[in-house]
Amino acid sequence: MEMTGEQLIRATQADTWAALNDPAILKQCVPGCESIELTGDNEYAVLMTARVGPVSAKFKGRMTLSSIVAPNSYSIAFEGQGGVAGFAKGSADVSLSAAGHDTRLAYKVKANVGGKLAQIGSRLVDAAANKVANEFFAAFNEKVGKPAHAAAEEHHDAHHPEPVPRDPDLPQVSDASLAFFAAGALVVFVVSLLTML
């Protein structure tokens, strides 16, 4: 199975990247996600419940982030096991680009499924994957993005206040850490899509 798409996220590229690397936000946005845990350098364990047609199961998955170019892109490798329901394995490439005050998120996913999932049929699996993707992006935009009317008002506002200086008491976070969390979030999303397949 292959799936490509683009989404407009109503948030800045930096905010979108940070949210994609925040396991708590991803857990709230990925349908059926029960947990996302960091297990190593750029590696996550994911637990989720998914239903595709007549097949419903709890899936355990692993995802690994690579080719991280914060805050622009990364690649995800994932695999998930759902017991007798089957398995999913694949990869995804994700890229972010500025679109005015918003962010354009583009993705390309390649996946293989086996077991009962493979017996269901590609149309049903594709429909389930698209449904999960749509639900994820709707929840993600609601959690991270600005409402459309607020973005329009901000865009037309002629007055731009001075930026607030950074609070020196805040902890320093490296770009590598931010990239790792962003990649983990994306991996969770991809794993959830694949396990639905």
Element (H, E) at 88: strand 87-99
**Strands 73-81 and 87-99, bridge-based pairing:** antiparallel
Residue 53, phi-psi category: left (phi > 0), alpha (psi -120 to 50), beta (remainder):
left
The one-character DSSP state at 85 is G
For residue 90, the number of C-alpha atoms closer than 13 Å in the C-beta half-sphere is 25
Question: How far lies 165's CA from each of 56, 169, 170, 171, 175, in Å?
Answer: 50, 12, 12, 14, 19
Higher pLDDT, 184 or 138: 138
Cβ-Cβ contacts under 8 Å for 20 (sequence gap 6 or more): 26, 94, 96, 181, 182, 183, 185, 186
Residue 135, token pair as written in the block = 């639900």
Minimum mean pLDDT among 7-16, 41-50, 74-83, 166-175: which range?
166-175
Q: How confident is the model at residue 57 (pLDDT cuts 50, 70, 90)?
A: confident
Burial of 75: CB neighbours in 10 Å, binned 0-12, 13-18, 19+: buried
> Mean pLDDT over residues 165-187, rounded?
62
Query: 181 pLDDT exceeds 70?
Result: no
